[in-house]
Structures are given as C-alpha cells and as structure tokens.
Amino acid sequence: MELLPCPSRHVLENESVWFFCAHPRVHSLHSLVTAEMCHDCRFCGDQPEGFRPFPPPPGCRAPGFCRHLGEQTAMRECPSCGGSVKVKVFECRHPRHEETTLRECAQWWDYERRP
C-alpha cells in the first residue's frame, strides 16, 4: 500500500508492519499504527503545533504479534473510548486466556512476540 507523505509517521527499527505516529490527535496503543490506519487517517499530512516525541520510550512494542494470538472472533464495546467505539476481539491460544484485544495482549506479562 502506497502512503501519502506525513510528517507524523516514523519508521521503526526492525519493524515492517507498524509505524510510530507523532500526531497529538491520533490515539493508539504506544502511538503505533499500521499502513491501513495511516491510509484512512484524517490527520494525514496535517501540521500540528507540536508532535509527540520520537523515538518512543523503551518497552513500547508493537501489539498484535504475540505467538498466542489467533483469529478475530468478535467486536466489543470500548468503555474507556469516547463515543461509540468497538474494538476487535481475538482468540488467544495461551492456556491462561481464551480471548483478548490487541491492547490487552500487549500488556500481559505472558506476551510472547512471534519470531
């Protein structure tokens, strides 16, 4: 997917799917976005007064690439999101979990990045 130039998007070292978005009005876990998210973003190319600092702090990792993550199974209401927002729910193959969201998965202590 070809992306329009955007001053907010930064390439992350050793990462082929996720980008860091420094735009202050784009909200995602650890400010990480995919090309699809950038493509659909209404702030693409915008020049805000200030950007989030880049690079991100140590420990920020791209969500969704845990070796236990399975297929999407449902959508769930997001109680902490503004408005009517739903998040994707995925099967989790870890014995301690049955299902997860990308945010939950990235924050669990038993997260294991896919090789």
Q: Is residue 90 part of a domain?
A: yes
Would you state the pLDDT for residue 18?
84
User: pLDDT class for 73, splitting at 50, 70, 90?
Assistant: very high
Q: Is residue 114 part of a domain?
A: no
Residues facing residue 32 across a β-bridge: 20
Q: Cα–Cα distance between 15 and 33 in angstroms, integer?
A: 11
In this structure, the answer to whether residues 1 and 27 fall within a common structural domain is yes
Mean pLDDT of 55-79: 79
In this structure, the answer to whether residues 56 and 100 fall within a common structural domain is no
In this structure, the answer to whether residues 9 and 40 fall within a common structural domain is yes
Q: Is residue 76 part of a domain?
A: yes
Q: Which domain holds residue 10?
A: 1-60
Q: Is residue 83 part of a domain?
A: yes
φ/ψ of residue 83, rounded to 5:
80, -160
- Kindly report the pTM of this predicted structure: 0.56
70: left (phi over 0), alpha (psi -120 to 50) or beta: beta
User: pLDDT class for 115, splitting at 50, 70, 90?
Assistant: low
In this structure, the answer to whether residues 10 and 36 fall within a common structural domain is yes
8 Å CB contact between 68 and 92: yes
Q: Is residue 112 part of a domain?
A: no
In this structure, the answer to whether residues 85 and 32 fall within a common structural domain is no
- Alpha-helical regions (H) of the chain: 35-39, 102-107
Q: Is residue 87 part of a domain?
A: yes
Q: Is 78 exposed, middle or buried (0-12, 13-18, 19+ CB in 10 A)?
A: middle
Q: Is residue 91 part of a domain?
A: yes
In this structure, the answer to whether residues 76 and 51 fall within a common structural domain is no
The tally of domains found in the chain comes to 2
User: Tokens 């236990």 appear where?
Assistant: 68
